[in-house]
Each structure stands twice: as C-alpha cells, then as structure tokens.
Structure 1
Amino acid sequence: MTPTTLTPEQVLAADLADWRFLLGRLHARFTFDDYAVGLALVAAVGAHAAEVDHHPDLDLRHGALRVVTSSHDADGVTERDVALARRVSELAAELGARPEPTTVQQLEIALDTPDLSRVKPFWRAVLGLADRPGSPDEVRDEVNVLPALWFQECDPPAPGEAEGRMRFHLDITVPHDVAEQRVAAALAAGGTLVSDAAARAFWVLADAEGNKACVCTWQDR
C-alpha cells in the first residue's frame, strides 16, 4: 500500500526545527568542528536507516553533513520521513553536531522555449538525464548529482526575431523563512525586482544585464 504524501503545510506543522521542505523532500544540514563527529553521525544515521529500512541521502563534507529524505514510492514526504528526521536530529544532538536548517537550498535550471518537444530530447541526451514520471516538462538526474532541468513555455519568436533569444534562467529554492532575506540581499547587490506577483511561491529577479533568476519556496503553490 502506497503511503500518504504529506502536504508542505503538514510538514511544517510537524515542527521539525532542524529541517526544511524543498521541492518535495526534507533537507537538513549539520555542522561540526571535528571530522570524526561527521563520520560518527553518518554511521549512526546509517545504522538507524538500516533498522527502519528507510534510507536518506547523506553528503558528508569537511565540517558538515547534509541529509535529504523522501519516500520514493510516494514521490514525496511521508510520516516515515518525519520519523526519520526526528531520529536524525536526536542522533546529531547526541554527537554535538549543530543544525543549520536555513543554509539548505536546491538549484534548478529552466529553459524558456515555445517548443518543448523540439528541444527536450537534446538536453535529456546531452546531460544524461531522464524523464520525471508525471512531469512532462522536466528531466532529472537519476543519481541526484546534477540539478533538475525544466522547460518553461514561452511565446514563439516574432517575425524576424532570432531563434537564439531563448534563454536559460536559474531557480533557487530556499527555506520559506529565508526567501525574503535572499531577495533583499539580491536587490542590495544591484539586482532588480522583475515581479513579485507570484510571491511567496517565487520572486523574479534580474541582474544588471537582465539575466533572470527566481527565488522560490513551497508556499502558495
């Protein structure tokens, strides 16, 4: 039986202080001064994951461990992930690792195109990506190394306008309690606000040359 996928609001209500919901997954980052603490935390999380048969992604770097969990059979976060997150936080606290939930983020790349069927096969092939079931406008790295690439519909070129006008833009998904600070920092760094009509789902920003990026959250989607 497929487990029930939780809504972002339900995840927020679970009060997982060390974790943030980004793009259908729970993300946490724990820091430490001693690399041995990171190794011990990986071992402890791994042992628990084996015990409950639910396995998060672990990314150990110098000074930090990132933990990401979701339920593949539900294509989202379930109660299993909430329970796992709580236990990981307990293990981190026992070992003296520090939670830094506002530092997690996830990058996506978007390509504006009037003809998805024309360009998607090329990008899927050249980047070695795969279709995401249920999302015809998106291709993803099945081993979670490269960021996802999705295709945003736009109007075709006007008569006489170059085909090359199609442009990439970046979507950076951040914790919901970080987004407005991130937007403000980008504006203070010389950016401009193109649109906040869809906020809090996303803010459209541009650099001094008009290159766009969106700061995104799960809210209001």
Structure 2
Amino acid sequence: MFGAHRARGHATMGTMATTLTGRQVAELAPDGWVLVGDGLRTCVVTGGFAAGLALVDAVGAAAEQADHHPDLDLRWGHVDVRLWSHDAGGVTQRDVELARTVSALASDAGLTLTVAGLQSLELALDTPDAARVLPFWEAFLAYRRPEGGQDVRDVAGRLPPVWFQESGAGEPRQRWHLDVWVDPGEVRGRIEAAVAAGGRVVDDSQAPAFWVLADADGNRSCLCTWQDREGEEGA
C-alpha cells in the first residue's frame, strides 16, 4: 500500500528517556518551533554571519551545561536548530527544555524564530522484499541500519534516510517516492500550490498523517505530518 508510513513511537523501552507524542510536543514546545519527521526544529533569523556565530556559541555553552546537544546549521542570515534525543529515538522533555533555552537566547540577542519552509526529507523505495534489497543500499550508500529498523541512515546525519515500503509483488508500483515532512499548518497551502502546478491529490484517506500527491506523469510522493499517528489522540 502506497503511503503506509511508519508510526512514530512514543515510548522506548530500555532507554533513559521517554519520547513525547506529536500532540504533546505541539502543546509543550515554545512558539517558533515545529515537529517534523527528523525532530523539533526552528530557524533563527540572524541577518548576518556574526550574529549567527554568536548565537551558536551561546547555544553551545547552554547545551554543554545541559549535557544535551542540538544539531546546528550556521548559514549567512540564519541558524537552523534541530533537537532530537538519540538515546530515546525521538523528541523528549529534554528537547522541549532546550528549545525554550534557545528561544530565550535568541530573544536576548534580538533575533526572531520562524518555522516557515522548515521540512525534512525521506526517500522511500517500494519493494515486495525489503530484506533482499536493504543490504545493498546499506553498502552502496555507506549507511547503517538502526537495530531493528526498516531503514538505513547516514551515520553523520547529513543526508536523507532511506526506508523500504512494502508493496505487493504483482501490483504496479513506482520504485521511488519522496516523503516530505512539514508543519501541519503548511500542508493546505502546499497541496494547493502543487495542484495549481499541474498535480493532483491521489489519496487523502490517511490525512492528516499523510496525503499522496502525483505530478502530471503520475509520479507519487507524500506530504507527512506528526498528526493522527499511532498513539495520537486525533488530529
């Protein structure tokens, strides 16, 4: 079945922390942060490199004190911040607390936060036999498969993960499709723009977890959100 996306768990046994559901993250996270597929994220608008570097220094010091470290991407004009608890395999209360710290540091520096345009990208391969092809892609990409996972991931976290979607051996399928995780508030505008550009909505039966869209040639991809997934109480 196309678009049968993985559920995001909200408890991990044997770890030091418990992950939060998407709804909990949405309720607890400060303004200017959004949960997408790979973590809790924001973009701090700096207007220049020096201000961004100063913010990175301040966030780094706070992260060291908290013993919990974000991913920081410093660019001219903005700093992207991503929070994720690797020991728990999801977003935890520690991430929410560090998000509040980052927001306070940005505010003290006179900087603003935005979630406009923030998204994460996954590659999905339709296959009737993931076990047969997964080892090839792990080796070819020099990725690693998480223990018990159905995907392979860049060890450094720089490149998109690849996961393997079950499809029937005899059913027509598109070999590759994109899973694009976005802020739930951006979905409607993104769909409208895609349809206006010649695309169409193929399946919205799993919304708001994901919508399947196709281009004029029928190539399908999905817009995904945290909403209405396993463990969530409604959209």
SS of residue paired to 1:68? strand
Could you say which residue in structure 2 is the equivalent of 1:80?
Answer: 94
Match of 2:31 in 1: 17
1:102 paired to 2:116: yes
Aligned-partner residue type, residue 153 of structure 1: E
Contact 1:27–1:69 under 8 Å retained in 2: yes
**C-alpha distance in structure 1 between counterparts of 2:162 and 2:29, whole Å:** 31
Q: Deviations over 1:22-51 (max 9, x none)?
A: 125211111121211101000000010111
CA distance in 2, matches of 1:93, 1:206: 41
2:169 is aligned to 156
Q: Which amino acid aligns with 1:67?
A: V
Contact 1:27 1:68 in 2 (8 A): yes
**Partner-residue secondary structure (3-state), 1:72:** coil
The 5 Å alignment of 1:9-158 reads 9-23=23-37, 25-135=39-149, 137-157=150-170
Residue 40 of structure 2 aligns with an amino acid whose one-letter code is L
Residue 168 of structure 1 aligns with which residue?
176
| Runs of 4 or more above 6 Å deviation | none
Matched, 1:212 2:225: no
List alignment gaps of at least 5 residues for structure 1. none
The separation in 2 between residues aligned to 1:24 and 1:7, in whole angstroms, is: 14
| CA distance, structure 1, for counterparts of residue 42 and residue 99 of structure 2 | 8
Distance across 2 between alignment mates of 1:101 and 1:166: 31
Answer whether contact 1:24 1:75 (CA < 8 A) is retained: no
Distance in 1 of aligned mates of 2:101 and 2:227: 26
Query: C-alpha separation between the residues in 2 aligned to 1:114 and 1:7?
Result: 30
Residue-pair matches, total: 215
The 8 Å contact of residues 24 and 77 in structure 1, kept in 2 or not, is answered as no
| Per-residue deviation, 1:142 | 1.6
Quote the Cα distance in structure 1 between the aligned partners of 2:58 and 2:143.
32
CA offsets per residue over residues 174-194 of structure 1, 9 Å max, x none? 011111211111111110111
CA distance in 1, matches of 2:157, 2:20: 22
Cα drift, residue 166 of structure 1: 5.0
Q: Using CA pairs under 8 Å that are at least 6 residues apart, name the structure with larger relative contact order, 1 or 2.
A: 2
User: Is contact 2:174–2:219 with CA below 8 Å preserved after alignment?
Assistant: no
1:143 to partner: Cα distance: 0.9
- The sequence identity of aligned pairs, in percent, is 50
Query: Are the structure 2 counterparts of residues 29 and 11 from structure 1 closer, same or farther at C-alpha, using a change threshold of 3 Å?
Result: same
Local SS of the residue matching 2:73: strand
Gaps of 5+ in 2: 1-14, 230-235
- Residue type matched to 2:160 in 1? P
- TM-score (normalised: structure 1): 0.92
How large is the RMSD of aligned CA atoms in angstroms?
1.5
| Maintained 8 Å contact 1:6/1:76 | yes
